[in-house]
Structure 1
Amino acid sequence: MLRPWDIIIIVFLIILSFTPLAIFSIHERNTAAANIPVKTAVVSHDGKQIYKLKLTNHRGTTTYTYRAANGDYNKIVFKNDKVAITDANCSDQICVKRGWISKSGQTIVCLPHKLLVEIKTNQGSTTQGGLVTE
């Protein structure tokens, strides 16, 4: 047998059971707004970082030219939130043909010059096109 106060207590407990969901949802929304990913383009030669540029909120065009002592060069162009190697004196030109990259985890590699251009984010792993990248 249910008494009138039993129904009130049951309704109160049901409402109270959704309180953690509301608290975690509010916390997650505030945390997600504060953790906007920052994309950075990193240029490395033979495993050593030689140039770095923040792509998030980058406007305009910035150019960096890698020059080695033996005359090798790669012209790297940063335009808004994208990056590409537009000119190089390597024999295969695969790095130039790669085109523009803009997503986290994408890379451009020039094997003859041992040059790597990659886009990284300040957060841990992200999912881009079904692939998990670090």
Structure 2
Amino acid sequence: MPHSNIDAKTRGRAKTLRRELTKAERQMWDLLRDLRSRGARFRRETPIGPYIADFAWLSARIIIEVDGDSHETEFGRKHDAQRDAFLTRQGFKVLRFDNADVIGCPDAIFTMLETELAPFLTEGVTP
């Protein structure tokens, strides 16, 4: 008996994606890990329904997506809209960041993350 409602194919794809992070995803993971001391508990490549979230803080209902060029196509934008609508119906807030911004402006991204996540973070000093 399966232990969740996640399709085995989706679960396998998520496992593969965790091993193959892009440069921008690795950078975002480093930024999110810096928030762990303040209570942020993100998971990488997390299956949620038929989709895989780049980063998910399940208890806070926050998803962070790091988007590359494929998201700028007509198909990519349509797929993202459907995906975001599904995730929003599941009670998640989806935050999207462009690959180039994550790599080129990590300090600005970190500031945006702190602002968006402030209601869920505990007091403390970030490393």
| Larger Rg computed on CA atoms | 1
TM-score (ref. length: structure 1): 0.22
TM-score (ref. length: structure 2): 0.22
Higher helix share: 2
Pick 1 or 2: higher relative contact order, CA cutoff 8 A, min separation 6: 2
